[in-house]
Amino acid sequence: MNPKEEKVKIITEEFDENDEDAGVGSQKKTSKMARQKRKKPLPAAGPEEMVSENPHLGNQPEPLQEDSDTRPLSMTTRRGPRSLPPIPSASRTGFAEFSMRERMREKLQAARSKAESTLLQEIPTPRPRRLQSPGEKELETEFGAEPGEEAQKTQQEDDSQSRSRVKFRDSVRKIKTKPPVPPGFPSAEEAYNFFTFNFDPEPEESEEKPKAKNRDGTTQEEEEGEEEEPPVQGIHKTDEQLLISATEAEAFLWGLDHAAADFVAVRPADYESAHVRLQMEKELLFVPSRLTVPTYKKLPENVQPRYLEDEGLYIGTRPDVPRTCQNIMENRLLTQEPGRRWFGDDGRIVALPNPIKPFPSRPPVLTQEQDFRAELETLYKKAVKYVHRSQHMIGSGDSPGNFQLDIDISGLIFTHHPCFSREHVLAAKLAQLYDQYLARHQRNKAKFLTDKLQALRNAVQTGLNPEKTHKSLDTTQKTINEYKSEIRQTRKLRDAEQEKDRMLLKTIIKVWKEMKSLREFQRFTNTPLKLVLRKEKVDQKADEEAYEAEIQAEISELLEEHMEEHEQKMEAYRAAYQQWKAWKKAQRAKKKKKKQAVEEHPEEEMGEPYPEEDPVKPVPPEPTDRALMEHQVRERAARSRRRPGEPLLVPELSLAGSVTPNEQCPRVEVLRREDVKRRSIYLKVIFNDKEVSRTDSRPLGADFRVHFGQIFNLQIFNWPESLTLQVYETVGHSGTTLLAEVFLPIPETTIVTGRAPIEEVEFSSNQHVTLDHEGVGSGMPFSFEADGSNQLILMTSGKVSNSVAWAIGENGIPLIPPLSQQNIGFRSTTPSSSVHVVANGRIPPFLCALKRADAISSIGTSGLTDLKKLAKWAAESKLDPNDPNNAPLMQLISVATSGESYVPDFFRLEQLQQEFNFVSDEELNRSKRFRLLCLRSQEVPEFRNYKQIPAYDREIMEKVFQDYEKWLRDRNVIETKDHIDPHRAMVAKYLQQVRESVINRFLIAKHHFLLSDLIVEEEVPNISILGLSLFKLAEQKRPLRPRRKGRKKVTAQNLSDGDIKVLVNIIRAYDIPVRKPTASKFQQPSRSSRTFSEKHAASPTTHSPTHSADYPLGQVLVRPFVEVSFQRTICHTTTAEGPNPSWNEELELPFRAPNGDYSTSSLQSVKDDVFINIFDEVLYDVLEDDRERGSGIHTRIERHWLGCVKIPFSTIYFQAKIDGTFKIDIPPVLLGYSKERSMIIERGFDSVRSLSEGSYITLFITMEPQLVPGESVREKMSDVLKKFDSQEDEKLLQATEKFQAECALKFPHRQCLTTVTDISGKTVFITRYLKPLNPPQELLEGCPNNPQATAELVARYVSLIPFLPDAVSFAGICDLWSTSDQFLDLLAGDEEEHAVLLCNYFLSLGKKAWLVMGSAIPEGPTAYVLTREQSHYLIWNPCSGHFYGQFDTFCPLKSVGCLIGPDNIWFNIQRHDSPLRINFDVTKPKLWKSFFSRSLLYPGLSSVQPEELIYQRTDKAAAAELQDRIEKILKEKIMDWRPRHLTRWNRYCTSALRHFLPLLERSRGEDVEDDHRGELLKQLGDYRFSGFPLHMPYSELKPLIEAVYSTGVHNIDVPNVEFALAVYIHPYPKNVLSVWIYVASLIRNR
Amino acid sequence: MAAAGPSVFLLMVNGQVESAQFPEYDDLYCKYCFVYGQDWAPTAGLEEGISQITSKSQDVRQALVWNFPIDVTFKSTNPYGWPQIVLSVYGPDVFGNDVVRGYGAVHLPFSPGRHKRTIPMFVPESTSKLQKFTSWFMGRRPEYTDPKVVAQGEGREGENAEAERLKAAQLMLPFSSQ
């Protein structure tokens, strides 16, 4: 039993279950068990059974497959015609499984079971037929075990047929326990089918047929019997058995039957006869057929084979496999179950292209154990001559290269030449037209077409006469129709030709007329050209008749045509009309119906849709109008044809005319002729881009023809690639010019000397020539009309008549390079090579070589001249056009055959971009990592130094972008939180934007490096340095003499945190305020009684005794120390004593660049300041008990802030070192301290000092290591800046450069400024910035009588505008100058802006004022303002508002480079540049070099400044509000800074201070100290009080906080300390705010 | 992996600067350093080193052998900016001044395994003949401000460098990646 069978059985079971009642389980089970049991005993069922069983178990499916495989044709033929309905596959396979043998066995079983059943007295019952499973039908076959294979086979087939029939018909049903039918009898179905079906002839079974028929005949009888049998049997069967499926029952019985045999097996020794064995083998083994498998078997049903090759896809070469092998394989595959998937769409086995390369690609493996000596051995190689172009060379193997190309240059004709006169132009045109006429005349197409028309008409005529034709009528009609259509075509062509002829004639006549009129007009002739029109008389009458006949014929033809057309149209119309009518009828009927319907169901009417639009009623076509047509025809004829009777005109061009001699010509014409005479022409012969020879120089004839008549014999060695003639023209004795190049075709190999025709090759040149005589020139417009209209532009052009041919040798052999040579040169393919190609099936190497190069370009370079042959070869050798290997070749051929290459009208830069896009753009943009990388490479500040960008998107935090996005969003939103004042916030935003745009502008420049940035190289030494160094070499070495060494400068690129230190050397201070006894009230009156006038003449003598009285304990006046804070790092010196302390200490402060970025630009933008604070250290005795004084000292140290010096880091960075004495910024009121000016009496010093009040400190600040400042960057920038556009005059700019260069040559270190960059990046001449501008009216009204006071007030106003260095705001990129109104709007700027504004104010006040460009401490290069008072000069510091006399020692301005006035620049050419030592009289040219002088007058440059400054009054309320807010914030800050202590605020004191501050503002911080002190003492007598007011311009909050912090007021930690803080803001116009902060600490005295 | 920061891969390099061929010079020493992109960070080993002074071998090869070891480990998140080793060779000139004899750079190998690299060395040349003479005379040859610039492309346009001899550095790179 095989599984299939079992399955079938199971199916049967299911049927049973479904149909019959359940409850038969037990029965079934037993049967199943029995069946299982039975499986074992089977083999023991005797030899015969063994034989039948064994193969069956082994390979059951085989027989059928074999069947279908080996004889598929027969199968199908039989099946098809019988037209059996499709059989369900499951059942079919079920059938298929049963072999003959099995059936025999089953029959045996059936017989047995039959016997059993009779024994058991079982009564079979008729079962519903449709339940019968296919399995049961096995029993229906009653053929006995017929011996002989043939019989078996046929039976098998019959059987399967019968079964299938049974299956589908379902008509004949049997019970399985049917009495066995005698062998050889067909089943009932077979019998039935035999009679009912239409059997097709079965050629193979012709022998068996009678047998089968016999059998059928018998079975019929049987069947009858059978039909009756079942009911009988049914009676016998019991009810139980009824439920069991037939097979099961049988199996059950079978099992029982063999129960005994299971235990005892007695059998004879096995013997298999050869026959049986063979049979077995046959079933076991499968021998695939060698026959070709038909395609349809390999494909799914009803599928046509699909050949990809035909569809244009490349499939490659299949590996070579013999046909028989393929067949075997295919057959084998087909027998396997999923075998079909091995077949492609084309029904062939799927195969990859042949992977085997024709030659090895791996280099030969060298043997390892090669002796190294062998490698060292010298090999002798013969010297090989270097061959330049081997591929185009005539190989050495061939006959030596005495090939020869003969080039015959006969002459040259210009069709246009610059020296052509107008007449020549016309003559050339006429000649050209005449040539055309001649050519046309020769061809005489019109005549030909007319004749053809005539012939066609005759043919039609004859065709219409049926007697003359022997053909059938319809063919005649057909030919006539063809003729007619041809007539139409021909007529059209003829008309066109005739019209062209006529036009040409007309043009010739027109040109000739023009020429004649020109000759008349100019009164001379230049050309001998003469046109004669010969009239040929015609017979008028005949002509007219012919004309009329022609027209009539045409009309009739046309009419006919139209009739036909009309007919067709009518037909169409009729059809359409019919349709329309039908529709109309239908519509009417419908309407009627609808009406009824509406009557019946009125509600339904609404929903009914109107099915279609009404067809339009067709309009019958118009019949043609004969008259109209005749009119048309006549009109056309008149246009294109000679009118009847008109004489035939034949133009004849002759050179018979005479040329006017020179004497009678006007001057210009004579000039022209002379010019022509002077010209001569020669040609150069260029072969393979090398000049090989040239013709003689021949003069240009008056007719512009040059005759050479020279033959050049080129002995060639290389294959000719190009052959060019260059036309050179010589004019007089001047040089030659190349007129044009003429490219000659390289002759075919068949063209040899003697046979070569003379060819004319046209050339033209694009040179432009204008002549001053009659010659029309070339490339120049000229006109024949008097008014210059109708302009013509002609280019020099002409024709070279030449012939090129291969020479013939002495023995008549043409001297042509051999063909093999040409192959290499991609020339053409010889038959031999194409044979080679076909044989190989692959492309010959030369084509492979071709493939490597771009196909198109190889045309031009490699002399691929015979493409047609190549194409032919490709077609002949059946190259696969789809093979990518052949693609270039195919392209080449297609290009060559189509005659033009396909040039797309667009250009794509990266054609393959699409192919390389591995993700879509959106996806790429969504990637966070990509975005991060992009932002970093764009150097967005937030990401510029982002390190270690994570490798995965998921690792990138969203917050990385948040700040950036926020910033992007907020760029335009003004943030008022940090700025308090909305205006300033706006300004800050604007400044930010300007900064960004400038930075963007310089981003590229930043990446530009100079050589000096990369390479350290010694400068070119001049002779002095060289001499000095030479001298140094000779110098004695003195080791004990130290020599100063310059510090090494470090570029800021490889630095890290902690590498840079700021060194501050505090040397000494002068005039520090000294303490004043606070407790002693007795002094107060004396102080307050002092008058202001006494102030300057301070009386030291009065004070000295009091001081000594105040400190009886011998306490010093002041114990100052210096604290330096930078980036919140604080260092301080030791405490010195006295008002003029000397520390001489070096403090070291580490520097940290922002974000760890030590690049130059980053360092330049460091905004930090170095605060140098001077404190007084006060010791207080805290001892409560005097008794302990002996045993210990308890003191508390307090420090009182005295003043500070603030130096921006950027200054240190740019200056590299700062060395000098600085004025200490001491608050105007310093409670508890006073200036000690008497104790040290040094007269000389004192007298100088008395001019400027204040304390001073001497400092030296530098950085370690020294950084290379941004100087180089600046210089580089200036180059870049030059490229920025400027609106200045070019001359002026040149002058500035010259001026600067001259100045720099003389005094390289003096600052000279002529042009500056304005805020939009344009270069502006500096004097344009200076112009009198009105200061605020408010300031002028302040003290109208005192001009000096007004000036000070104005200076103070200017100094109140916050200072913001450009280097900080623009990252050291450049110095931008804003105009005064921009400056006032921005409310921020550096020295230049302050100085410009101040200077402008002074100018408006009527002062003589200049801008001083120079250097000062600590600013470095800066701008000051110089004013001239009555007798002396004053130097104003615009940023602080202070002014100094010219001879003030403490003037911070240390050198003067140039002065700038509103209309000139003066450069200091004096020996010294210190303001103390120079003369400011700019009128002296020896001292001052002026920019505008007599040589260069001042051009009156307009100013960039506005006409007038408009000042808005500042909102007082806003200022008050701001004041309150600042106060609140500062108080909070102070409390924050004292986290461990309670901060008490003294309200009395605060209010007192608040009242005092406006006073300070009014007096500008002077002369109020004593009053104030007295007042305070009055109010807060019992407090020890220390405090001071701070004053600064307001820009933003942070500097205020920073300033308060730096005073260290909050550091007092006495338990009962109280604080007072008052803020006052004084508003000036234009939002300039002056801020006063009064901070004080109070300690109640005990 | 993700919690402790970005995931990285490691590049472990160990190898040696083997020998050089400077036929004209003797008593040279070499300096190496690495140039790498922003996403790279050294995690272990020495980033820079100066070798001993070596003399020419006495045989025909005249090799200057250092066998100077290199051992460094980088971590990175991005192959962009793959480390390059920059070698600069110095030695005394006629007057005993220490002058540069060659710069060279090469990318570290991309694949694990044993690699041998031969780096062509070059020195920048003086801009003029006169400068060439004076620099020779004074022993102040043109030098790069930083040897690392040889591994960079920026700003190298105007440079005129004289290509020198060859030099072999052998690098063995067991390569690991997290």
- How many Å separate Cα A1328 from the centre of its chain? 46
Of B78, B127, B158, the CB nearest to A949: B78
Alpha-carbon gap, residue A386 to A72, rounded angstroms: 71
Chain B nearest-CA distance from A967, in A, is 24
Chain A nearest-CA distance from B157, in A, is 9
Q: Which residue has the higher pLDDT, A852 or A598?
A: A598
Q: How confident is the model at residue B53 (pLDDT cuts 50, 70, 90)?
A: very high
Q: Is A1189 within 8 Å of A1238 (Cβ atoms)?
A: no
Q: Is A1197 within 8 Å of A1132 (Cβ atoms)?
A: no
Name the H helices within A538-619.
Answer: 540-600
**DSSP letter, residue A236:** H
Q: Which residue has the higher pLDDT, A1645 or A653?
A: A653
Chain A nearest-CA distance from B104, in A, is 15
Cβ contact (<8 Å) for B155 and A1007? yes
Task: State pLDDT tens for residues A1020-1078.
Answer: 666 777 677 777 777 777 778 777 777 766 665 556 667 788 888 999 888 888 877 64
Judged by average pLDDT, the poorest of A117-121, A856-860, B24-28 is A856-860
Judged by average pLDDT, the poorest of A220-234, A527-541, A619-633 is A220-234
Chain B nearest-CA distance from A965, in A, is 22
Alpha-carbon gap, residue A1248 to A1444, rounded angstroms: 12
Chain A nearest-CA distance from B149, in A, is 7
Chain B nearest-CA distance from A1023, in A, is 12
The listed range with the strongest mean pLDDT (A828-832, A856-860, A1203-1207, A1318-1322) is A1203-1207
Q: Which of B132, B145, B154 best tests the A interface by mutation, with the highest count of A CBs <10 A?
A: B145
Task: State pLDDT tens for residues B69-121.
Answer: 888 899 888 888 899 999 899 998 888 888 888 888 888 888 888 888 888 88
Q: What angle do CA B30, B33, B36 make, to 5 degrees?
A: 155
Task: State pLDDT tens for residues A981-1003.
Answer: 566 667 767 777 776 766 666 66
Q: Is A245 within 8 Å of A12 (Cβ atoms)?
A: yes
Task: State pLDDT tens for residues A796-814.
Answer: 888 888 888 888 777 777 7
Supply the pLDDT for residue A75.
Answer: 42
Enumerate helices (H) and strands (E) in chain A, giving the number of each. 51, 40
Give A927's contacts in chain B (Cβ within 8 Å): none
Q: Where are the beta strands (DSSP E) in A588-646?
A: none
Residues β-bridged to residue A1628: A1632
Of B40, B78, B142, the CB nearest to A1015: B142
Mean pLDDT of chain B: 80
pLDDT at residue A748 above 80?
A: no
Task: State pLDDT tens for residues A61-94.
Answer: 444 444 444 444 444 444 444 444 444 444 444 4
* Mean pLDDT confidence for A636-656: 73
Backbone angles phi, psi at A1189, to 5 degrees: -60, -30
pLDDT at residue A1289 above 50?
A: yes
Cβ contact (<8 Å) for A955 and B145? no
Judged by average pLDDT, the poorest of A375-379, A483-487, A806-810 is A375-379
Alpha-carbon gap, residue A153 to A146, rounded angstroms: 10
Give A948's contacts in chain B (Cβ within 8 Å): 6, 8, 38-41, 76-77
Task: State pLDDT tens for residues A242-282.
Answer: 444 555 555 555 555 555 556 677 777 877 788 888 888 88
Task: Name the packing angle between helices A100-120 and A246-257 (round to 10°).
Answer: 80
Name the strand (E) or helix (H) holding A1066.
Answer: strand A1061-1070
Does A1032 reach chain B within 8 Å, measured CB to CB? no
Cβ contact (<8 Å) for B158 and A1016? no
Give B80's contacts in chain A (Cβ within 8 Å): 933
pLDDT at residue A407 above 90?
A: no
Q: Is A1048 within 8 Å of A1093 (Cβ atoms)?
A: no
* Nearest C-alpha neighbor of A954 from the set A980, A924, A928, A981: A928
Chain A nearest-CA distance from B50, in A, is 18
Supply the pLDDT for residue B126.
Answer: 81
Of A1015, A1020, A1051, the CB nearest to B143: A1015
Alpha-carbon gap, residue A143 to A153, rounded angstroms: 12
Give B149's contacts in chain A (Cβ within 8 Å): 1014
Supply the pLDDT for residue A945.
Answer: 72
Task: State pLDDT tens for residues B106-164.
Answer: 888 888 888 888 888 888 888 788 888 888 887 888 888 888 888 877 666 555 555 44
pLDDT at residue A698 above 50?
A: yes
As given in the structure block, the two tokens for residue A1267 are 């950084």
As given in the structure block, the two tokens for residue A1169 are 């300041």
Of B2, B39, B76, the CB nearest to A955: B2
Alpha-carbon gap, residue A676 to A26, rounded angstroms: 131
Q: How confident is the model at residue A785 (pLDDT cuts 50, 70, 90)?
A: low
Chain B nearest-CA distance from A938, in A, is 14
Of B6, B80, B142, the CB nearest to A1017: B142
pLDDT at residue B52 above 90?
A: yes
Q: Which residue has the higher pLDDT, A361 or A568?
A: A568
Give A933's contacts in chain B (Cβ within 8 Å): 78, 80
Judged by average pLDDT, the poorest of A226-240, A353-367, A394-408 is A226-240
Cβ contact (<8 Å) for B159 and A1011? yes
Give A954's contacts in chain B (Cβ within 8 Å): 2
Q: Which residue has the higher pLDDT, A829 or A1014?
A: A1014
As given in the structure block, the two tokens for residue A1153 are 């660049």
Give A1054's contacts in chain B (Cβ within 8 Å): 146, 148
Supply the pLDDT for residue A1480.
Answer: 84
The ipTM, to two decimals, is 0.80
Chain B nearest-CA distance from A332, in A, is 48
Q: Is A1446 left (phi over 0), alpha (psi -120 to 50) or beta?
A: alpha
- How many Å separate Cα A1461 from the centre of its chain? 53
In angstroms, what CA-CA distances link A189 with A110, A145, A152, A217, A227? 19, 20, 19, 12, 11
Rounded to two decimals, the pTM is: 0.45
Alpha-carbon gap, residue A448 to A441, rounded angstroms: 11
Of A952, A1009, A1020, the CB nearest to B155: A1009
* Nearest C-alpha neighbor of B140 from the set A1028, A1017, A1033: A1017
Chain B nearest-CA distance from A1012, in A, is 8
Does A1003 reach chain B within 8 Å, measured CB to CB? no
Closest CA in chain B for residue A1050: B145
* Nearest C-alpha neighbor of A143 from the set A174, A187, A109: A187
Judged by average pLDDT, the poorest of A359-373, A745-759, A1434-1448 is A359-373
In angstroms, what CA-CA distances link A1571 with A753, A1088, A1100? 126, 6, 20
Supply the pLDDT for residue A1568.
Answer: 61
Alpha-carbon gap, residue A156 to A101, rounded angstroms: 10
Supply the pLDDT for residue A1278.
Answer: 53
Supply the pLDDT for residue A1183.
Answer: 61
Cβ contact (<8 Å) for B41 and A948? yes
Task: State pLDDT tens for residues A409-423.
Answer: 888 888 888 878 878
Supply the pLDDT for residue A250.
Answer: 52
Supply the pLDDT for residue A983.
Answer: 66
| Strand order across the A1376-1377 sheet | A1323-1325, A1315-1318, A1376-1377
Closest CA in chain A for residue B123: A1015
Task: State pLDDT tens for residues A298-336.
Answer: 777 777 777 777 777 777 777 888 888 888 888 888 877
Judged by average pLDDT, the poorest of A220-229, A1385-1394, A1479-1488 is A220-229
Alpha-carbon gap, residue A1132 to A1146, rounded angstroms: 10
Using a pLDDT cut of 70, give the percent of chain A over it. 61
Task: State pLDDT tens for residues A1237-1274.
Answer: 444 444 444 444 444 467 888 888 888 777 766 554 44
Q: Which of residues 107-146 of B touch A (CB under 8 A)?
A: 124, 126-128, 130-131, 134-135, 138, 140, 142-146
As given in the structure block, the two tokens for residue A446 are 């019109």
Q: Residue A1241 corresponds to which amino acid?
A: I
pLDDT at residue A967 above 70?
A: yes
Q: Which of residues 18-77 of B touch A (CB under 8 A)?
A: 38-41, 76-77
Size of interface A-B (CB pairs under 8 A): 94
Residue with tokens 């022993």: B139
Task: State pLDDT tens for residues A1177-1194.
Answer: 887 776 666 666 667 777
Mean pLDDT of chain A: 70
Closest CA in chain B for residue A1017: B142
Cβ contact (<8 Å) for A952 and B6? yes
pLDDT at residue A866 above 90?
A: no
Name the 3-class secondary structure at A741.
strand
Q: Is A291 within 8 Å of A327 (Cβ atoms)?
A: yes
Cβ contact (<8 Å) for A1018 and B140? yes
Of A933, A936, A954, the CB nearest to B2: A954
In angstroms, what CA-CA distances link A119 with A30, A111, A116, A237, A1162? 19, 12, 5, 12, 116
Judged by average pLDDT, the poorest of A311-325, A950-964, A1594-1608, B1-15 is B1-15
Name the strand (E) or helix (H) holding A1161.
Answer: helix A1160-1164
Does A628 reach chain B within 8 Å, measured CB to CB? no
Supply the pLDDT for residue A886.
Answer: 67
Give A1026's contacts in chain B (Cβ within 8 Å): 134
Judged by average pLDDT, the poorest of A127-141, A361-375, A1085-1099 is A1085-1099
Task: State pLDDT tens for residues B29-43.
Answer: 999 999 998 888 899
Assign 3-class secondary structure to A688-731: CCEEEEECCCEECCCCCEEEEEEEEEEEECECCCCEEEEEEEEE
Chain B nearest-CA distance from A1276, in A, is 13
Q: Is A1443 within 8 Å of A1402 (Cβ atoms)?
A: no
Q: Which residue has the higher pLDDT, A772 or A1102?
A: A772
Cβ contact (<8 Å) for A947 and B39? yes
For CA atoms A959, A960, A965, A971, give the dihedral sign.
positive
**DSSP letter, residue A263:** T
Q: Is A1194 within 8 Å of A1183 (Cβ atoms)?
A: yes
**DSSP letter, residue A203:** G
Cβ contact (<8 Å) for A948 and B6? yes
Q: How confident is the model at residue A131 (pLDDT cuts 50, 70, 90)?
A: very low
